[in-house]
Structure 1
């Protein structure tokens, strides 16, 4: 988890403390009451120390990767994604719904690093051999849909704070003979996307967003990088809806792709970055605070729905 041992860091931290306070110590010894320490020099020292610490941590991680299994290395890569660690670093405020009890925290850490989760039966309710990876993709019980709907509702709720014409699951206009560019395009007359908002990207234009949450540890993604998996899922969504929305509905389309751990695809990062700008401007709050709060809400939303999947899948219910 990147928590360093105080015993191992004591000597280095002591030397850094000596270097930072050297100018002040020298003035004490010289009994110089009028002299002032150069704050710019101290600031540069702090930056250098922080940079050296990060380099040492990265070198240590690379050494550890050589002794780790491939699955563990991929889990660490997933945990390093932007937004995947917000539930670990935020303050546990129960009134805001961003706190975990002991069992939830233990299970979340186990999922984060690929550790076994206690209490899972050997066989899933669907009849297949059960493990954590299987519960992430098993369609039995509809928990994959619950995970998806949680993020959809949260995104719509945040959009409504700054935009008026926001709707969930809006129906697209019928094609009326219009031919799509891709064979995988959704041509159903009652086709829907997850969220729409007017004026998001362009004034007066309706923006459509569709959400996909995928498990990066699934077998179909094992042979490609995490970045390529994000791009693949974004490309699939664009081929399904992009041409239709642009030419029939005359709107814009943005795929919002997440991993089950909370990481976001490139287009999702752009979307939530623009949403954070609008929220910060309307609420007169620092943008950094809005971004942190937004990522925290998304992280806990995914974490809770993820836990619902494997806890509910652990119930010993015989398949029909």
Structure 2
């Protein structure tokens, strides 16, 4: 979580403080009232100290990776993905949609590091032995199927700020003898994707997006790194809908793949980067603040989706945020979100 121990850092911090204030200390001892400290030298010294500290942290992490269990190492790797830690770095302001209750906070930290979660029944309603990994993949009760709903609704609300004809759960055009490339393609007449918007990638063209949230600790992903798992899920989505949407609906298709911990696949990163560019331009807001706000909101949405699978009916509905007129820069500053 990036929380350092003051006891372990005290000696190093004292040494750095002495080095930074040495020139000023010398002038005080010499009673030099007219002398000035070289601010460029102080700034360069700060950069060197920061670089040395980062190198030391990398070395400590490498040492921990060598001695920790493989599952814990993978959990840490997953927690380092872009967007996986944003919910930890902002102030819990309910009005901004960045709050968790006590139970959710404890569960979120336990999920992040693979710690035992207290209060779970020993047997799942499906009859199998219950565990954290089982709750993330069990289809009984429908929680896995609906856990992407908040991400879908948030994405649609952001698209409505910059695009027209935004629809959730749009039905694709039925097939009338058209040939699709892959056998795993969805050929049913009632086939739907999660979100569509007109004019996102190309002016006038309809863009279709489908969301998948997967558990990177599931048995089928144990032997592959998170990056390969993202690409695998993206290929499956493209084979299901890509060819049909391109040739029948004459639109574009983008799979939005996430992990339950908050990581994003390559195409999802590209999509939300483009969305941040357009939102920043239209709202006349700094892009860095729009990106920071977007990642934080997505992080909370993905965390709530995981908590939905974990606790079921104990899941609390998120605060609805009206994006119309939202000042992203002020929200990022007030919430303490890292840019």
TM over 0.5: yes
Structure 1 residue 281: Cα displacement: 1.4
| Stretch deviating more after TM superposition (110-119 or 168-177) | 168-177
Is the 1:125–1:313 contact (alpha carbons within 8 Å) kept by the matching residues of 2? no
Task: Summarize deviations over 1:258-298 as a string: whole Å, max 9, x none.
Answer: 00011000110111111111111122221111111111111
TM-score, normalization by structure 2: 0.89
Aligned twin of 1:288: 288
Structure 1 residue 177: Cα displacement: 1.7
Is the 2:260–2:305 contact (alpha carbons within 8 Å) kept by the matching residues of 1? no
Aligned twin of 2:136: 136
Q: Kindly tell me: are residues 41 and 205 of structure 1, through their superposed partners in 2, closer, same or farther at Cα, counting changes over 3 Å? A: farther
Structure 1 residue 100: Cα displacement: 1.8
Aligned twin of 1:74: 74
- What's the secondary structure of 1:155's corresponding residue? helix
- What's the secondary structure of 1:211's corresponding residue? strand
Aligned twin of 1:243: 243
Q: Distance in 2 between matches of 1:20 and 1:209?
A: 52
- What's the secondary structure of 2:254's corresponding residue? strand
Aligned twin of 1:90: 90
Is the 1:180–1:244 contact (alpha carbons within 8 Å) kept by the matching residues of 2? yes
| 1:1-320 map, 5 Å | 1-312=1-312
Is the 2:156–2:167 contact (alpha carbons within 8 Å) kept by the matching residues of 1? yes
Unaligned runs of 5+ in 2: 315-339
- What's the secondary structure of 2:167's corresponding residue? strand
| Stretch deviating more after TM superposition (39-48 or 201-210) | 39-48
TM-score, normalization by structure 1: 0.94
- What's the secondary structure of 1:165's corresponding residue? strand
- What's the secondary structure of 2:239's corresponding residue? helix
Structure 1 residue 4: Cα displacement: 1.3
| Stretch deviating more after TM superposition (27-36 or 45-54) | 27-36
- What's the secondary structure of 1:302's corresponding residue? helix
Aligned twin of 1:317: none
Is the 2:206–2:252 contact (alpha carbons within 8 Å) kept by the matching residues of 1? yes
Structure 1 residue 313: Cα displacement: 8.0
Aligned residues: 314
